[in-house]
Amino acid sequence: MSTYPRISAQLDDVESAREEGRRKMEWARQHMPIMEAVREDFEANQPLAGERIAMAMHVEAKTAILVEALAAGGAEVAVTGCNPLSTHDDVSAALDDVDNITSYAKRGVDDEGYYAAIEATIDLEPTITVDDGMDLVAAIHEDYPELIDGIVGGCEETTTGVHRLRAMADDGALEYPVFAVNDTPMKRLFDNVHGTGESSLASLAMTTNLSWAGKNVVVGGYGYCGKGVAKKASGQNANVIVTEVEPRRALEAHMEGYDVMPMAEAAEVGDVFITTTGNRDIIVEEHFEHMQDGVLLANAGHFDVEIDLDALDDLAVDRYEARDGVEAYEMADGRRLNVVAEGRLVNLAAPVSLGHPVEVMDQSFGVQAVAVRELLEREHADDYEPGVHDVPDELDREIAEIKLAAEDVDFDSLTDTQRDYMGSWDHGT
């Protein structure tokens, strides 16, 4: 049994933290029509009655609306962070005050506290897990295998988590079904692209008070997140340089009008570097050695392994906090390389970061909520063997339709003749 304290026991002035957290949640709620519809449905129909849900996510206002909706659907929920720097303690405290919710998330915990908080959520003996990065699934499989029989399934929010889960499934090690929420169109085409693009640039601009215009912005990786970062930086009049290892993505970036080159070349000309690969060692010693004085180094990928900070630290003769959220590493030749948010996801971990825009997370969490509901639809339960599963397309459409209705956007539907035509193979010229 974990003795790790809930957030309310960790804060000095818990009442005022709760009040501020509720204020942040109220603002988010006003801009989350999908989650409002889902919460009303969950409250009325109690699809999660009697379930126990453990969650490891970025605990800030939008996530709190999802957590509340799951509790409103009848579940008991224990939540913690999925990154030591992305938690908003006030929101965590406000959540901890809601019936059937316990929050262990605290900003700035060390590794030991981070994993102790994950274990505390597992103490709930969850029937469902909701992850952003797969830490809960990993901890349960490694340390609490006896709980697996009681787990109906899980949901995974991000690309890196889905990659890790697929690797686990390929090894035959994943012992319960998990939905790849990340891979749905309603999540990936909006959250990864627009969400990461907008919030990474906003966080960097707010943290540094510097302009994008005329800068060489190097985007590491041209996947969904990289496309968003590149597009938004270009929209701010930056000159975008893309690095890639996948030939079709490199070509796509080239045809989009961006400069494409190896990181070794980009290192010499970049002013700002933003990694979005989900891979490791994207910016390493050989690159640091050739960078200009004053560059900004930031990461928007899930883990803090894209920029080799150990190598940078070894090269540095001095290191100091240049601004809140910016650490300057001074080289022997006097150049200063500035790392933002300790190389952790810049849109969530810098002191001023707020994560993705609210509207975007309304969509992502709408999909999360209906995916959790789907795990419990008993007539489907047998469809989901242990492994990684796509979220059924009709659920993704359900979320899109709620959003379009909320935005008052009308759209066409297929006629019977069109549907028949699209489904046939014998209509020729």
Among 222, 273, 288, 365, the residue binding ligand NAI under the rule CB under 6 A is: 222
CB burial of 230-256 (b: ≥16 within 10 Å; e: otherwise) equals bbbbbeeebbbbbbbeeeebbebbeee
R_g of the chain computed on alpha carbons: 22
Asked if 368 interacts with ligand NAI (CB under 6 A), we say no
Among 220, 270, 343, 366, binds ligand NAI (CB under 6 A): 220
* Cβ closest to ligand NAI, residue 281 vs residue 318: 281
> How far, in Å, CA of 402 to CA of 265, rounded?
46
Q: Of the candidates 89, 96, 135, 244, which one interacts with ligand NAI according to CB under 6 A? A: 244
- The region of 74-82, 223-231, 289-297, 407-415 touching ligand NAI under the rule CB under 6 A is 223-231
CA 268, 272, 277, 283 dihedral sign is positive
φ, ψ of residue 337 in degrees (nearest 5): -110, 120
Residues in the chain: 429
Residue 301 binds to ligand NAI (criterion: CB under 6 A):
yes
192 binds ligand NAI (CB under 6 A): yes
221 near ligand NAI (CB under 6 A)? yes
DSSP 198-221: HHHHHHHHHHH----TT-EEEEE-
Residues in the interface with ligand NAI (CB under 6 A) total 29
Q: What tokens appear for 270 in the block?
A: 């970049």
Q: Nearest residue to ligand NAI, using CB?
A: 223
Q: Are 28 and 64 in contact (CB under 8 A)?
A: yes
Q: Is 347 in the site for ligand NAI (CB under 6 A)?
A: yes
Per the CB < 8 A criterion, the answer to whether 160 and 184 are in contact is: no
Determine, following the binding rule CB under 6 A, whether residue 278 of this chain makes contact with ligand NAI. yes
Does 302 bind ligand NAI (CB under 6 A)? Our answer is yes
How far apart are the C-alpha atoms of 277 and 229, rounded to whole Å?
A: 12
Query: Could you give the angle at the alpha carbon of 90 between the alpha carbons of 96 and 124, nearest 5°?
Result: 25
Contact range with ligand NAI by CB under 6 A, out of 83-91, 237-245, 252-260, 313-321: 237-245
Q: Does position 60 bind ligand NAI by CB under 6 A?
A: no
Q: Which residues bind ligand NAI (CB under 6 A)?
A: 158-160, 191-192, 196, 220-226, 243-246, 249, 276-279, 282, 300-302, 345, 347-348
Annotated binding site for substrate: 132, 157, 187, 191
